[in-house]
Amino acid sequence: MGSPADDYLIRPDPQDPRLTERVSGVDQTGAPITTSVTVERPLTIFLNGQEIVTAMTINDYPDYLALGYLLNQNMLRVDDEVTGVDYDEELSVVVVRTGRATDYEQKLKKKVQTSGCAQGTVFGDLMDVIEQARLPDVELRTSWLYRLTNVINTTPSLYLEAGAIHGCVLARADKPLVYMEDVGRHNAVDKIAGWMFRHQVRADDKIFYTTGRLTSEMVIKCVRMGIPILISRSGFTAWGVELARRANLTLIGRARGKRFVALAGESRIVFDQDLAYVEDESAKHRRKAAVYDD
C-alpha cells in the first residue's frame, strides 16, 4: 500500500530551495535560533498586451496562477482559446495570450477589495455568478471528509515547515488530487483553477479544501469554478455563509479531527462514518495551526 502522498498529482515540496530561506533570530528566552521563512516574490500578469495585476506569490506555478486569476476575475472565459502562456523569470512576468481581443481597462477601474490577504480582489459583476449558480446535487460522505483531512494534515508542506502560507486542495471523493500553497489563499485557489483549465478537468464531482477562512471571496471563487463542496479547517464569515446558501454550496468549516460544522448545503452530507474510529488531530498539527490559521 502506498503512502497518502501517492494520491496526489501535484503536492507541495517543502524542500524546494526557492520557497524558503533560513533566518537567524532569538526566541522568547533570548536564545539564538534559526528558522525557515517563506519567500514571496512579485509576479506581474498580462492578458494579451494589457497589464492586469502584480501579485505577491511563492511563484512555483506562475502559468497556473495567471490562468486561474484571469478565470476567477471573469477576464478569461472557460471556452477561450489560450494561444500561449509565456513566463519570463528574470522580469517576473507572465503573459497569457488568447485568440480573441481583450480590453479590460474599464473593468479594472471597478473592482471590489475583498478580505483575502495580499492582493485579493473580486470584480462586482462576479456576484452574478452566485445568482446564476447551478451546482450539482452530489453527496459528501463523512468517511471521505475524515480521510481527506487526515491525508492533507499529514502531507509534508510549507504550511507545516515554515507557516505564513495557505494551502488549498482539490479532491474527488476521498482522494486528494492537487495541493497548492501560496502566501495568499486566493493565489492557491487560482493555481488550482488554472490547473483545471489547462488540463480540462471537470468540477462537478470535486471537493475543495482550504486552510483559510471561508470568506465571500472563497465562496465566489469556488462557485465560479463549479465545485459544489467547500471545506476548511478555519472558520466562517457571515457573508460567506449567506452567499453559500444562495448558491447551494455545501460549506463546512472548523474541520479538525472529529469535529466539523456545516452551515450551508447540509443536504449533501451522508453521515456514514463511525466517530469511534476517527482519530483526533495530532498535537503537532494543532500547535502549527494555532500559529498559522487565518
Residue 277 has pLDDT above 60, yes or no: yes
Q: Which residues of 186-217 are buried (b: 16+ CB within 10 A; e: fewer)?
A: bbbbbbbbbbbbeeebebeebbbbbbbbbbbb
pLDDT at site 161: 78
pTM of structure? 0.87
Classify residue 4 by its DSSP letter: G
The alpha carbon torsion through 226, 230, 234, 238 (nearest 10 deg) reads 70
Please state the rounded mean pLDDT for residues 239-257. 96
Q: What is the C-alpha separation between 62 and 57, in angstroms, rounded?
A: 9
- Catalogue all structural domains in the chain, each as residue range(s) with its CATH number: 1-294 (3.40.140.10)
pLDDT at site 4: 53
pLDDT in tens, 73-118: 889 999 999 999 999 999 999 999 999 998 887 666 655 444 445 4
Please state the rounded mean pLDDT for residues 252-271. 97
Check: CB of residue 189 under 8 Å from CB of residue 221.
yes
pLDDT in tens, 108-156: 665 544 444 544 444 456 677 888 889 999 999 999 999 999 999 889 8
pLDDT at site 263: 98
pLDDT at site 118: 44
